[in-house]
Structure formats: structure tokens, C-alpha cells
């Protein structure tokens, strides 16, 4: 039950973070929106390392740490590109495929095998995410599915989902060979700094932009910092695919916040999709082993 609480809090923190970033920084470029929480969470990660004891680190930790950097950075770039060139409704659903892919990557790298109930719950979460994005107004039941063959952003997001299934498992391997807090804080301190420097070098962001919104930036940074901690503890306590399935409930919270904050439409299909995702989460919590 403890792992579920951390996974649930991860989903909630992701949804609140995304809502705040969209509401406060949507007038900025996609790159600047993306960097706000990275920049403001960077000092929190760095300062936290001063109070965390360094565990005994082996060769596997260093290898997975280094490999995890490109496996986290590259899909972030692809994610930004995907949502810039294609509609959200044709890209976001594919993120729910991450726990499906993790059935395979989790087995190969962690020897984790979900049981039949776990697979059923993961499937319900995936299908629910798809239903969330069906547009009844245009009667496009197969829109997101067909888009993967003709929409660049859709197949890019499917690749992102697959790469995340590898990076999440790599992260768990590194945690098992160190500690939750040490890996999460050290890894995201390095990753955040690396992404910020690359964006600066390529002229994608301007530092003066981030000075203009210090309070909002700090809130976004704290939310991302909480996401990092909750994710680490959640994935360390259960099968990686289970944790990522519950984390994808952030899509449900996003729908709720989207309706409350941005007055988004298509409530019926979003409600049905949310119920499917919640049903999958309940199956994983109560029946999966």
C-alpha cells in the first residue's frame, strides 16, 4: 500500500505541476516552459545532496547513471517537438504505453514479471488513456490510433513512451545499487543542469526570462522536486510497470484540472476514460501480485 501512496502522489504532483506551468508560462516558448521547473528544482536537488549520506557505489551504479542521462534527455527533446508539431489529443495518449513496454523492459533488466491481474490493470490504464482523447464532436474514435501512421508527433511520442520504459527501469536499477534519495537528487541535479546548458548553447532559452517570475518558478520547482522524490520511492517499492501505471493517473488529474482551470470540453469521453484508468489502478492495487 505504501508504494501506491507514493505512485499516487507522483501522479498528483505531475498533474498539478503541468497545470501550473500551462497556466503561468503558456505565453513563453515550449523550451522555456519546460526549463522553468528544471531550473528552479536544480538548487533543491543540489542542496539536498549535502544532507544525504553517500552509499557504497558499485560499477553497475555508475554505468546505469551514465546511460540514464541520454535515455532521459533525448525523450524530453522529442516530447517537446511532438507536442509542438502535433495536437495534444494525438500525442499524449501514447505516453500510457510506457507501462505496457515496461512489461518487457522490466523483465529483461529487473526480472520483474506482472501477473495476469497486473497485466489486466496495465491494459485498462492504457485503454483508458486512449478513450480520454477520443473526439466525439468529430466522431474520431480511431483518430489517435490512425495518427501514428501519418502524424509525425504521434509516432515520435510512441518512441518517447518506449524510451521512458527503458529509462524508468534503468533508474530503478541505479536506485537498487545506491539509495532512493542519493540517486534521485544526484541524477536530476546533473540532468537538469545538462539540459539547461544545452538549451542555452543552442539559443532555445534566455536566462532573463526565468528571473521575471521567481515565485511561480519556485512553485513549479518544488512540485517537480516532489515528483522526483515520490517517483523514486514508489518505483523502488514495487514492480516498475505497476508504479508507472499508477503514475499515468496524472492524465486523469490533468483532465479534472483541465476542466476546472481551462474549461476544456469533451467531458463524456474524458470521464469514461478516467473511470477505465481508475479501474485499472484498483485492479493493480488490490489484485496484482
Predicted confidence band at 185 (pLDDT cuts at 50, 70, 90)? very high
pLDDT at 163 over 80: yes
Mean pLDDT calculated for residue range 180-189: 97
Torsion of CA 193, 225, 2, 281, to 10 degrees: -90
What is the arithmetic mean of pLDDT over 37-46? 96
Q: pLDDT by residue (tens digit) across 67-111?
A: 999 999 988 888 877 777 776 666 766 777 888 889 899 989 999
Lowest mean pLDDT segment, chosen from 5-9, 126-130, 197-201: 126-130
Contacts of 220 (CB under 8 A, 6+ apart): 17, 20, 21, 24, 25, 36, 37, 40, 41
User: Which comes out higher in pLDDT, residue 175 or 26?
Assistant: 175
Domain ranges of the chain: 2-286
pLDDT recorded at residue 105: 92
Query: Is residue 139 over pLDDT 60?
Result: no
pLDDT at 83: 72
Q: Is the pLDDT of residue 1 over 80?
A: no
- Flag whether pLDDT at 281 surpasses 70: yes
C-alpha cell at 264: 476544456
Of these ranges, 14-18, 36-40, 146-150, the one predicted with the greatest mean pLDDT is 36-40
pLDDT higher for 246 or 230?
A: 230
- Quick one: pLDDT band at residue 146, thresholds 50, 70, 90? low
Residue 148: band (very low, low, confident or very high) from pLDDT cuts 50, 70, 90: low
Mapping DSSP onto H, E and C, the string for the chain reads CHHHHHHHHHHHHHHHHHHHHHHHHCCCCHHHHHHHHHHHHHHHHHHHHCCCCCCCCCHHHHHHHHHHHHHHHHHHHHHHHHHHHCCHHHCHHHHHHHHHHHHHHHHHHHCCCCCHHHHHHHHHHHHHHHHHCCECCCCECCHHHHHCCCCHHHHHHHHHHHHHHHHHHHHHHHHHCCCHHHHHHHHHHHHHHHHHHHHHHCCCCCHHHHHCCHHHHHHHHHHHHHHHHHHHHHHHHCCHHHHHHHHCCHHHHHHHHHHHHCCCCCHHHHHHHHHHHHHHHHHHHHCCC
The model's confidence at residue 182, banded by pLDDT at 50, 70 and 90, is very high
Amino acid at each position: 500500500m505504501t508504494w501506491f501512496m507514493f505512485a499516487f502522489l507522483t501522479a498528483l504532483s505531475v498533474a498539478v505541476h503541468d497545470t501550473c506551468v500551462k497556466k503561468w508560462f503558456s505565453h513563453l516558448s515550449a523550451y522555456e516552459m519546460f526549463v522553468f521547473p528544471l531550473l528552479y528544482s536544480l538548487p533543491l536537488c543540489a542542496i539536498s545532496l549535502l544532507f544525504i549520506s553517500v552509499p557504497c557505489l558499485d560499477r553497475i551504479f555508475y554505468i546505469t547513471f551514465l546511460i540514464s542521462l541520454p535515455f532521459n534527455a533525448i525523450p524530453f527533446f522529442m516530447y517537446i517537438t511532438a507536442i509542438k508539431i502535433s495536437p495534444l489529443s494525438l500525442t499524449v495518449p501514447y505516453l500510457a504505453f510506457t507501462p505496457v513496454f515496461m512489461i518487457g523492459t522490466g523483465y529483461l533488466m529487473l526480472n520483474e514479471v506482472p501477473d495476469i491481474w497486473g497485466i489486466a490493470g496495465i491494459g485498462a490504464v492504457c485503454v483508458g488513456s486512449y478513450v480520454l482523447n477520443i473526439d466525439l464532436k468529430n466522431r474520431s474514435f480511431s483518430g489517435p490510433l490512425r495518427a501514428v501512421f501519418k502524424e509525425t508527433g504521434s509516432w515520435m511520442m510512441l518512441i518517447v513512451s518506449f524510451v521512458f520504459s527503458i529509462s524508468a527501469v534503468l533508474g530503478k536499477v541505479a536506485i537498487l545499487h545506491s539509495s532512493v534519495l542519493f540517486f534521485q537528487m544526484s541524477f536530476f541535479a546533473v540532468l537538469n543542469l545538462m539540459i539547461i546548458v544545452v538549451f542555452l548553447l543552442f539559443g532555445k532559452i534566455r536566462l532573463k526570462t526565468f528571473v521575471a517570475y521567481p515565485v511561480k518558478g519556485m512553485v513549479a520547482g518544488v512540485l517537480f522536486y516532489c515528483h522526483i522524490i515520490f517517483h523514486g520511492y514508489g518505483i523502488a517499492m514495487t514492480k516498475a510497470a505497476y508504479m508507472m501505471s499508477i503514475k499515468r493517473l496524472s492524465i486523469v488529474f490533468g483532465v479534472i484540472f483541465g476542466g476546472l482551470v481551462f474549461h476544456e470540453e469533451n467531458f463524456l469521453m474524458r470521464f469514461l476514460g478516467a473511470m477505465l484508468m481508475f479501474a485499472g489502478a484498483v485492479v493493480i492495487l488490490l489484485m496484482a501480485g
